[in-house]
């Protein structure tokens, strides 16, 4: 048997029985987010430098994709 502790809303202290993201009583976020943008930026994914961003038209993209998979 698993015992689940029901957390209360951090704003109005109403029990959040369903574990909802937003409080059904006050409409605000029911809990504090454990993740932030800063937390992502210090992670390994945030430090990647091998990602290339370029701008191309749909036609250029389609012809490049066909060339890569061998249809061109």
Whether residue 11 lies inside any domain: the answer is: yes
pLDDT band at 66 (very low <50, low <70, confident <90, very high): very high
- Determine the structural domain holding residue 6 and report its residue range: 1-31
Whether residue 5 lies inside any domain: the answer is: yes
Whether residue 14 lies inside any domain: the answer is: yes
Whether residue 57 lies inside any domain: the answer is: no
Exposure of 11 by Cβ count < 10 A (0-12 exposed, 13-18 middle, 19+ buried)?
Answer: middle
Whether residue 36 lies inside any domain: the answer is: no
What is the domain count for the chain? 1
Whether residue 19 lies inside any domain: the answer is: yes
Q: Which pLDDT value is given to residue 60?
A: 92
Please state the pTM of the whole predicted model: 0.42
Whether residue 27 lies inside any domain: the answer is: yes
Whether residue 48 lies inside any domain: the answer is: no
User: pLDDT tens digits, residue range 3-15?
Assistant: 667 789 998 999 9
């Amino acid at each position: 048997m698993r015992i689940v502790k029901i957390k209360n809303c951090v704003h109005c202290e109403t029990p959040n029985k369903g574990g909802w993201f937003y409080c059904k009583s006050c409409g605000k976020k029911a809990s504090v987010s454990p993740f932030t943008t800063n937390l992502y930026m210090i992670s390994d994914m945030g430090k990647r430098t091998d990602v290339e961003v370029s701008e191309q038209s749909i036609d250029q993209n389609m012809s490049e994709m066909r060339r890569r998979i061998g249809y061109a």
